[in-house]
Amino acid sequence: MKRKFILFCLSILLSNCIYGQKYIKGNVFEKLKEGEHTQFSPLPNASLVWKGTTNGTVTDVNGKFKLLKPGTGQQYLIVSYVGYKTDTIKIAESESEINIVLKESNVLSEVEIKARKESEYIDKIKTIKTEVISTAGLQRLACCNLSESFENSGTVDVSYSDAVSGAKQIQMLGLAGIYSQMMAENIPMMRGLASSFGLSFVPGTWMESIQVSKGTSSVINGFESITGQINVEYKKPQRSEKFYANLYGNSSGKGEVNLYSAQIINPKLSTMTLLHVESQALKVDMNNDSFIDIPISKQINFYNRWTYENEGKGHVQYGIKILYDDRMGGQMDYSLKDKGITNSYGVGIKTQQYELSAKHGFILNKPNTSIGIQTVGSYYKQDSYFGLNGYNASQKSFYGNIIYQTILKTTDHNLSAGASYMFDGYNEHAVISTIDNNSTTNESVPGAFLQYTYDHNKIWSIIAGLRGDYHSEYGLFVTPRLHFKYNVTENSTLRLSVGRGYRSPHIIAENISLLATSRQWIFTEKLKAEEAWNYGISFNNDFVLSDEKKISVSLDAFRTYFINQAIIDLETNLHKVIAYNLNGKSYSNSFQANITFKVIKRLEFSLIGRYNDVKQTFENKLMTKPMVPMYKGLITASYSTKFDKWSFDITNQFIGETKLPPTNTNPLEYQLQEYAPAHYILHAQITRRFKHFDVYVGAENITNYVQNNPIISAAGPFNQYFDSSIIWGPIFGRMYYAGVRFKIN
């Protein structure tokens, strides 16, 4: 009995001692920079030891720790991790929770570990599904500009918008590219007048990566994203070669020179200058329809950027861009003396663009709190004519966005709030069939937003955002958006999204390819703002076979449903473009499956399949939207020899049947089938890498598949049947190219 009493007393005493002990808990992070953004990722197995003792612990897989304090008063905690600077943290007696961020160490700077970067991958960290096309992916094809960088993508489709101007257009989720928000380092671009030709004004060699997000994106970037967001990250002076040159030429007579130079002036200040010059000098008519297949052109594109970064205090960036583009197409015998008359059909487009941009970021004294300010001002001018049709326009734009970011108690809860202002001033003069009109429109849009992000132990996360904008032409826009991610297992992720988006329609600028037709333009009513909801679900899973071998599967489904849409009706009357507001249903359902195999060392193999169901109401009839392929298949293969000396890349595209605008009331020789046939396109490239330069050769459209008669009534371009806008397949046959990349690191 006495022994039991003693044991009872000892247990009480021990429990009191334990209860009186104090602990410090928290998280250890590493700081990762992705473009202009900074992310904090947990560091597992980081070591924490009390100074002067051997008492310590290590962080778990989520970077979390809990450690018994050695005594009272101030203590010093030593935190270390291989490859990072060891840090000593002062811990106050009253402190019970702390977040620690380790900095990379320079000790290992002489050790170089090489691995081939994935060409395309899904960002596992982001709550919003984001597909990243890296520099390696951009170099798998010639990728002369942004419009040509999606040839290996199953998400984004690229095609010519007409057969005479050389303009290219994209589609995402079965809808035109105008419904996808285009961004340059998270600043909106290619809006309004630039929507038709802007894709060709972003050189491929300037891009570090492209991030493609399906569905509505964050409210921080505005209200315009409906089907997705495409963000371009430019080369950074801190991570780029000291000097880089890319020379390119192809069998159609096009040549390019791309140069950039990066200078690190001091540890805080750096600058970079980028130059792009291209020329299409030859007139080529491979299908013998008397029209130039690709307009002769010349382009000069200049970009200079300066970056000042004070570690732990702030970041400043300034940039200036200047663009001049001049292209002329039409019939082979056309010259400027025929402009405005019917001797020969000609096309001319001259574009000038000037842009100033600035970014300011300030880190505040409060932990994980910062303010960012984005501003950009631009002037865009386009003078163009298509036969007897003319369209001259200019656009003055300003965009400003201020973002305040902080945490709520812990890093699991993040809050972003801010305000934005957008201005676009349009001056347009259109001479189209029965229209001869000058118009001036000023759109002013102040707005504000609030976004909350919660991350529960890296298992599931949610982003809830709301913004309000007041458009001077269309009134109040209220934009709610919600994104959810759940890590089902370590290698599988489920994502859900829902949100609303708006956009201001600019019918002529966004459908400039229809000027290259004989159609008359009819505006039956004043157009309203376009408004739509987007819903999406996606699932990704990696079957890991070994450290270097895995099979990745991605499945997603998205639905876009329009509340209002600016309808461009080519169905009701074959000789008219009729524009009016949606009266009925308009929707797009898109389903996609991606499978990527990495089961053989240095070989990557991808299979992608997609189905689109897109319908619009034309004059009270719900019909399949024309010019949208119902099916698309993509097979890509990429293989590199040891040390990446040789690389071999192949891209196979299968494009399903495509409904065409009706031509059944035209004379027989000017009629097309109801559906364009399915077809197959093959591209290939071989790259040989040396110490300071790469040599690459390739071929596009190896199967030489070309759309028959891409121009209706090519022999009579001034009659009522002329139409060069119904483009569903390649208009240029097999094309060979070669190039050299030279770099000084």
**H or E element that contains 425:** strand 410-432
pLDDT at 37: 52
175 vs 402: CA distance, rounded Å:
31
- Cβ contacts of 1 within 8 Å, gap of 6 or more: none
Profile the chain (745 residues) by mean pLDDT over runs of 10 residues. Answer: 48 42 82 60 84 82 81 82 84 84 61 56 88 86 84 88 91 94 93 92 93 93 94 91 95 95 93 96 91 95 95 90 97 93 95 97 88 97 95 97 92 94 96 83 97 92 97 97 95 96 95 94 94 97 87 96 96 93 96 94 93 95 94 94 92 95 93 94 95 94 93 94 94 94 91
621 vs 47: CA distance, rounded Å:
68
294 vs 189: CA distance, rounded Å:
26
**Entry pTM:** 0.84
Domain spanning 120-744: which superfamily? Answer: TonB-dependent receptor, beta-barrel domain (2.40.170.20)
Total residues belonging to the chain: 745
Place of tokens 């100033």: 356
* CA nearest to 402, candidates 423, 417, 422, 424: 417
Helix, strand or coil for residue 136?
Answer: helix
Which CATH code of 3.20.20.80, 3.50.50.60, 2.60.40.1120, 3.30.43.10 fits the domain covering 22-102? 2.60.40.1120
Three state DSSP letters for 372-392: EEEEEEEEEEEEEEECCEEEE
pLDDT at 9: 47
pLDDT at 396: 97
Query: DSSP letter string over 545-612?
Result: -SSS-EEEEEEEEEEEEEEE-EEEE-SS-TTEEEEEE--S-EEEEEEEEEEEEEEETTEEEEEEEEEE
Place of tokens 């200079």: 304
Alpha carbon distances (Å) from 466 to 447, 450, 463, 471, 482? 11, 6, 10, 16, 9
For the chain, the distance separating the N- and C-terminal CA atoms, rounded to the nearest angstrom, is: 82
59 vs 43: CA distance, rounded Å:
7
CB-based contact 457:62 (threshold 8 Å): yes
Q: How many helices (H) and strands (E) does the chain have?
A: 3, 45
Locate the domains of the chain by residue range.
Answer: 22-102, 120-744
Helix, strand or coil for residue 356?
Answer: strand
Query: DSSP letter string over 512-529?
Result: GGGGGBSPEEEE-SPPPP
pLDDT at 553: 96
Q: Phi, psi at residue 199, to the nearest 5°?
A: -60, -30
Region at 433 (left for phi over 0; alpha for psi -120 to 50; beta for the rest): left
227 vs 215: CA distance, rounded Å:
5
